[in-house]
Amino acid sequence: MTANIRAIRGFRDIHPEEAFRLHDIETRAREHFLRYGYHEIRLPVVEVTELFARSIGETTDIVEKEMYTFEDRNGQSITLRPEGTASAVRAYLQGGLKSMGGITKIYYSGPMFRYERPQKGRYRQFYQMGLEAIGGGGPLVDAEVIDLLHKLFELLEVNDTRILINSLGCGECRPPFRKKLVEFLESTSDKLCSNCKKRIKTNPLRVLDCKVSVCIEALKDSPVMLDFLCPDCTAHFDRVTEALDGLEVPYEVDPRIVRGLDYYNRTAFEAVCERLGAQNAVAAGGRYDGLASELGGDAPGIGFAIGMERLSQIVDWKNRAISPPDYYIASATPGARIPALNIADLLRSYGYCVETDLEDRSLKAQLRSANKLNIRSVVIMGDEELERGVLKLKDFDKKTQVELSMDELIESAANRSRSSKGDA
C-alpha cells in the first residue's frame, strides 16, 4: 500500500477559516499603511546566501543554524528568505529607489523560512508583514513608525499589547558597552543557559534577549546600553520619546530589548502581548543605519515586522467570520439546472455570493446543503416555475416562501447592491 504523503514538519496548510483571518488582517493593515504613505513592494522568496550572511551577520543563530540554504543547478548558494528587511534594502539599492529622493516608504508581506523547533505560533514557514522607511535617519521617523504600529493594534481592537523601546547605540558607544557586558557575562557564565554561554563570544547582546528563567535572573544587574550612549545617541533617543509622548503613544523603556541581527543601531522596539506566553513578541523592529553600507550603498532606515500567526491569535474574531453565501439557487427539476446557473451568474454580477447545485441532486438534498452552509435565502425553480416565469424565494430566518418574477428578483438584488454601496 502506498504511504500517505504528509506536509513537511514545520510546514503546514492554512485552512479557509485561518486564511480568512490572515487576509482580513492584511487587508486592514494595507489600508492603514497607505494612510501613512507606505506602498507595497513584492520581494523574491529566494535570494543569494551572501545577502543574509553579510546583512544579518555570520555569527547569528539565523545564519549559523536556521537558514534553508542550498545550491542551485549552477552551483550558486541560495537561501529561502529568513526575514524581509535585507531583501527590502537590496531592492531599494538595486531598483534605484534612492534616486526618487526623500524617504522611501515600502511594505511587504509573505512567507519567511527558518529551521527552528516548531511550536504553537512558530513554524518553519511562517508569515510576516513588514514595512521599511529607508532614507530618513531622524528620530521623528522612528516615532512615526512606532506610532503607526501602535495605531494598527488599535485598529484591530487589540488593546493589551505593550510597546517596549530601547536604544542600541552606535558604532561609537556600543563597543565600550559590549566590553563591559562581556566582562559581566564571563563573571556570571556559570548561571547562564548553554546557548548563552556560547553567545558570550559570538553575539553577547543576544544574551540580554534570552527568555530562559535562569538567564533572566542572572542578568538582573547587568550593564545597560542606555548608560553608555554617546551624546548624539542620547539626543536621538530623547527626541524619539519626546515625540511618542506628544503622539500619546504609550511605551515602556526596557534596556533588555535588543535585536538579534547585526545591522540594528539606535532605536529598537517590540510589541508584546502576555496572552502569548513566554514567546510574547507580536512585532519587532528598529533602526538599521549601517545595513545599506553592508550591501554596497548608503542609506539610513528603520522598520518592523509583524508575526502574522501570532497577531491572528490575539485578535478578537467573535464578530468577524467568513460570511455565508447570500443566495442558494435550487433546481427542482433537471430542466431547471442550466437556468439556475444563469440566475446564479446574474446575481453574482451584482456582487452577491451565490451557491447552486452542480451534482444533479434532489431538491431535498439541495435544501439541506443550503441550511448546512447557513444560507438564509434560497431561490427554488423547476419546470412549472420556468413555464410561468416565476421563482420561489424561501427565507429560512422569516420562515416564509413567496413567488416573484425573475425581473423582480433581479431588481431587488440590484437595489440591495446599490444600497450596500451607499448609492441609494
In this prediction, residue 57 carries a pLDDT of 60
What grid cell was written down for 366?
439541495
In this prediction, residue 417 carries a pLDDT of 62
For domain 16-173+229-314, the CATH superfamily is Bira Bifunctional Protein; Domain 2 (3.30.930.10)
Low-confidence ranges of the chain (pLDDT < 50): 423-424
Sequence-ordered alpha helix ranges (H) in 282-394: 291-294, 308-314, 337-349, 363-372, 383-388
CA distance readout (Å), 190 to 195, 214, 280 = 12, 10, 27
> Domain 327-420: which CATH class?
alpha beta
Choose among 266, 273, 270: nearest CA to 257. Answer: 270
Sign of CA dihedral 125, 67, 78, 90: positive
**202 three-class SS:** helix
The H or E element containing residue 144 is: helix 139-155
Choose among 318, 344, 327, 322: nearest CA to 396. Answer: 327
Q: How far is CA 22 from its chain centroid?
A: 8
In this prediction, residue 186 carries a pLDDT of 83
Choose among 12, 110, 21: nearest CA to 315. Answer: 21
| Model confidence pLDDT, tens digit, residues 17-32 | 899 999 999 999 999 9
Choose among 342, 417, 327: nearest CA to 379. Answer: 327
For CATH 3.30.930.10, the residue range(s) in the chain are: 16-173+229-314
**Whole-angstrom distance, CA of residue 276 vs CA of residue 314:** 8
Please give the sequence-ordered ranges of beta strands (E in DSSP) within 197-300, or none if there are none: 252-253, 265-273, 281-287
**84 three-class SS:** coil
For CATH 3.40.50.800, the residue range(s) in the chain are: 327-420
Sign of CA dihedral 58, 61, 64, 70: negative
In this prediction, residue 68 carries a pLDDT of 85
pTM equals 0.85
